[in-house]
Amino acid sequence: MSFCDGDGPFSGVVFSIRMLECARMQEFTLHDNFDLSKARIDYQKELNPQQLEVVLNGEGAVLVLAGAGSGKTRTITYRVSYLLERGVSPDNILLLTFTNKAAKEMLSRVETLLGWYPKGLWGGTFHSIANRLLRIYAPELGYPSNFTILDQEDTKALVKVCIKLLQVDTTSRRFPSPSKVHSLISYVHNSGKSISEVIESKYPQLTELTGVIERIAQLYAQRKKEADAMDFDDLLLKLRELLSTNEGIRRRLSQQFEYVLVDEYQDTNVVQADLIRFLSSEHGNLLVVGDDAQSIYSFRAADIKNILGFPQTYPKTKTFRLTTNYRSTPEILSIANAIIAQNKNQFKKELASVQPSSDLPHLVPANNSAQEAQFISQRILVLREEGVPLKEVAVLFRAAFHSQALEFELMKRDIPYEYRGGLKFFERAHIKDVISYLRIKTNPKDEMAWMRVLGLLSGVGLATAQNIAVQMKKLNSLADLFSSPIKIPKRAQSGWNLLLKTVEDLVAGNLPSDLIRTVVAGDYRNYLEAEYPDFMDRLEDLEQFALFAQGYTSLQVFLDEISLSLDYGVLREEDGISEEEKIVLSTIHQAKGLEWTAVFVMHLIDGKFPNERALEEEGGLEEERRLFYVATTRARKQLFFTYPITSGYDTLMLSQPSIFLQELPDTLFEKILLKTAVKSFASHSSSNKQSWDDEGPTIVFDELGERVQKQIPKGMSFLRNIDEL
C-alpha cells in the first residue's frame, strides 16, 4: 500500500492535498545506486512526498523548513535510517539535538524501523557531544581528560568566592546575587557579545557595575582553569576554540562525521552555529531541520539569523518545506497562517491541514481577569462533559503571572491542574515573601513569617534570624516593635533600618492590595533586582497579586482564603491524582513541541502580549508574534482566545485586545460575548478603525457557558456586575 492509496497510516486525510503531492512523486531522483525496493523500510508508503524528498535527497547543505505538526521528528528518523540502510557506518553520523530525550527518542525509533540499534552513532545534545569530544581532546587545550564539569550550584558558589576575593562592596548598595552575575556571564558567552553590550541591552540597572562584573568574570574564568573545571558554557566554548585553532583535529573530526543532522536549528546560538560549521566542513553533508516561525528563545541567546541566513552561509543550500500539518483543523491553521504572515523576516510558507473541518476558533472578551478565569474554568467542565479528558486541555499564557486568577478559580472549583514551566503562583518565592510580610501584620508573633522576612535582609543569616524571631514573641501588635529593645547585630543594622521603615508603612495601611504595594515599594524591590535576573517578571507577578487583592477589604480574610486554598491543593496532591486527570497550565515557551485537543490562550491584552519589554529589543515584535503562532499551533481541535476588557476592581481601566488579535480577519474566529461583560466587544472597540470587531459570527453565552443567542445586533451592549454570576 503506498502513500497515494486510500488506506495506510494517512487514511482519512484530505485527499486533494495528498493527490497534489503524489503527482510529484515521479520527480524524485536518487543520488546513489541504493535500490529502494530492497530496503527494509517502505519509505514511499511511510512518508508523505515532502518528507520523502528530504529523506532521499539530503546530500550537501540542506535546510528543511518544518512547519508545526508536519512530522519533523519522523523525517529526521527516516533520514538517519535511510543513511544506515545505504551502508553508512553509524560512527560516521552525527545527530545533534537540544534535549537528550529527543535524541533517545529518535534513536529508539531508528532501532524499531531497522530492527537493530545503531551502536556507535553520535547522537545527543550539543553539550553531551562536546563533553565526549573534550574527554578525548581536552589535553590539547591544557586540560586533563578528567576535567570537572561544574553544575549550577558549583558555578554560583564559585562566583560568590570571586566576589569575596575581589573584596567587592556588596553592603553599601544591593549587589547582584552570584546567580544573577553568572546568568549575565553565561549570556555573554552564548551571544558572542561583550559584558558591556549585554549590560547595556539587558541589565541597564547594572551599568555602574560594568567594570566590577568584568573583573569577576575574569577571575571566574581563571579559577575554573586553575581547578581543571568547566561549566556548561565552557563545553561549547572550549570545543569551538579547539576546532578553530587546531586544523588537524578539525579535519579529523569533520572527516569522521560524513553526515551531520541538526534538530531545532532555529534555536541555535552563535557558538552552536560555529560548531556545526566546523564539524561539517570536510564532507559538507549538513542537514538542519527547523522552523523560523517557531524561533522564540532569544532570551537564551538563540539567534534567528542562523536559520534565516543559512542559504547565505552555505551558498549551495537545497531548501525543502514540510507544510502538511497532521495536528490541527483547517480552521486553526487558517488563523496560524494569518498570524505568521504579518512577519517580514521569515521564509514564507503556509500550513495545510489533513484533518476534517471543524468549529472556528473562539474569541472571548471577558469583563475582567476574574470573569476570564470563570469562563475558562466553566468551559473546561463542559469539555469534560463532552468527552474531552482533562489531560487533553491546556491553558497557555505569555507570562506566569497571567495565570494567577485562573489558578485560584480552578482551586475553588476543584479542577485539578498541573503547572508547567515553574511553580504555581502562590508557591513562588517572591509571592511567599510578600505573604510573610502580611502575616506579621496580622500576627506579630508569627515566628516562621519573621524567619522568612528577616532572611531577606543583608547581613542576616539563619542563626541571627532565629534569635531575632524569638524576640518578636513579646510583641502584642506590630506597632510594639518600635518600642521594644530588639538586639540586632551591627552587620545587619542597615537592613534592619530599612525593614523598620517598611513595618512603619505596614502599620499605617489596611487594604491588602495597598499593603502588597507597600512591601514592594520598600527595600523588597531592591532585593528582587539584586537577587534575580528575571526581577521585572517577578515585579509583574506582585502587581498582579495586588490587583487580585483589590477584591478584598479584610487582610485576615484574604490570607485565610490563600492558606485554605493552598492547603486544599496539597491535599489534592496527596490524594494521588495522576497527570492523566489534570489540565495543563503552561507558559507558551514551555508548551513548544506539545499539543492538546483543546487549548485556551488567555490574557491577550495589549501591553501584556506582546510583552512591552520584549518590544524594546531588536526583532522583539516579530518574536512575540512567533510566540503567539506557537501557542495557536498547539491546538488540535478546539482553540479559545480570551482577554479581560478591564483591569482593577475599585478603579476600572479599559484594556485593548492584543494587536495580534487586531491584525486578524474577523471571519477567522467566532466571537463569544458573555452576558456579564462590560459593554459589548464591538462597543468597547468602536474607536479602533479595525473592522474585525464588527463583522463575523458572534454568539452569546451566559455565565455558565451555555449558548444563548447565535447572532447579536451590531453594537449591542451587556452591562452587568460580575457579582451577578
224 neighbors 158 (Cβ within 8 angstroms): yes
Please enumerate in sequence order all residues whose Cβ is within 8 A of that of 378, keeping only pairs 6 or more positions apart, or say none.
Answer: 703, 704, 705
H or E stretch at 48 = none
190 neighbors 220 (Cβ within 8 angstroms): no
Q: Which regions of the chain are under pLDDT 70?
A: 1-33, 171-173, 565-580, 648-652, 676-725
Question: What pLDDT digit, counting tens, does each position of 644-696 carry?
Answer: 998 754 456 788 999 999 999 999 999 998 875 434 333 333 333 333 444 45
Q: Mapping DSSP to helix (H, G, I), strand (E, B) and coil, where does residue 124 land?
A: strand
Residue whose grid cell is 517557531: 294
Q: Per DSSP, what are the bridge partners of residue 261?
A: 95, 287
Cβ atoms within 10 Å, residue 599: 29
Q: Measured between alpha carbons, how far is residue 308 from residues 225, 280, 286, 304, 314 in Å? A: 36, 19, 16, 6, 11
Residue whose grid cell is 560549521: 277
Q: Which residues are annotated as a binding site for ATP?
A: 66-73
pLDDT value for 578: 56
- CATH superfamily ID and name for 15-133+236-322: P-loop containing nucleotide triphosphate hydrolases (3.40.50.300)
pLDDT value for 467: 83
Q: Mapping DSSP to helix (H, G, I), strand (E, B) and coil, where does residue 93 land?
A: strand
- Same CATH topology for 352-416+578-724 and 427-561? no
Q: Measured between alpha carbons, how far is residue 632 from residues 58, 73, 186, 635, 661 in Å? A: 30, 20, 31, 6, 12
Q: Which residues are annotated as a binding site?
A: 66-73
Cβ atoms within 10 Å, residue 235: 23
pLDDT value for 11: 36
Nearest to 642 by CA among 327, 425, 361, 338: 361
243 neighbors 278 (Cβ within 8 angstroms): yes
Q: Mapping DSSP to helix (H, G, I), strand (E, B) and coil, where does residue 66 land?
A: strand
Q: Which amino acid is at 55?
A: V
Residue whose grid cell is 506582546: 610
555 neighbors 563 (Cβ within 8 angstroms): no
Nearest to 629 by CA among 403, 401, 351, 383: 351
DSSP string, 601-652: E---BTBTTTBHHHHTSTTHHHHHHHHHHHHHTTEEEEEEEEEESEE-SSS-
Q: Mapping DSSP to helix (H, G, I), strand (E, B) and coil, where does residue 167 land?
A: coil
Grid coordinates of 380: 473546561
Show the 3-state SS of 181-212.
HHHHHHHHHHHCCCHHHHHHHHCHHHHHHHHH
292 neighbors 67 (Cβ within 8 angstroms): no
Nearest to 343 by CA among 537, 607, 634, 624: 624
pLDDT value for 85: 93
CA 725 to chain centre: 34
Question: What pLDDT digit, counting tens, does each position of 707-717 carry?
Answer: 444 444 333 33
d(CA 208, CA 94): 45
Residue whose grid cell is 562592596: 169
- CATH number attached to the domain at 427-561: 1.10.486.10
Q: How many residues does the chain have?
A: 725
pLDDT value for 72: 94
Nearest to 48 by CA among 84, 81, 9: 9
Question: What pLDDT digit, counting tens, does each position of 449-482 carry?
Answer: 888 988 888 778 888 888 888 888 888 888 888 8
| Whole-prediction pTM | 0.80
Nearest to 535 by CA among 285, 203, 245: 203
Q: Measured between alpha carbons, how far is residue 586 from residues 101, 117, 363, 407 in Å? A: 20, 35, 20, 11
58 neighbors 93 (Cβ within 8 angstroms): no
Domains of the chain, residue spans: 15-133+236-322, 148-227, 352-416+578-724, 427-561
Q: Per DSSP, what are the bridge partners of residue 63?
A: 288, 319
- CATH number attached to the domain at 352-416+578-724: 3.40.50.300
At 142, phi and psi to the nearest 5? 90, 15
CA 46 to chain centre: 33
Mode of pairing for the β-strands spanning 653-654 and 646-647? antiparallel
d(CA 540, CA 611): 11
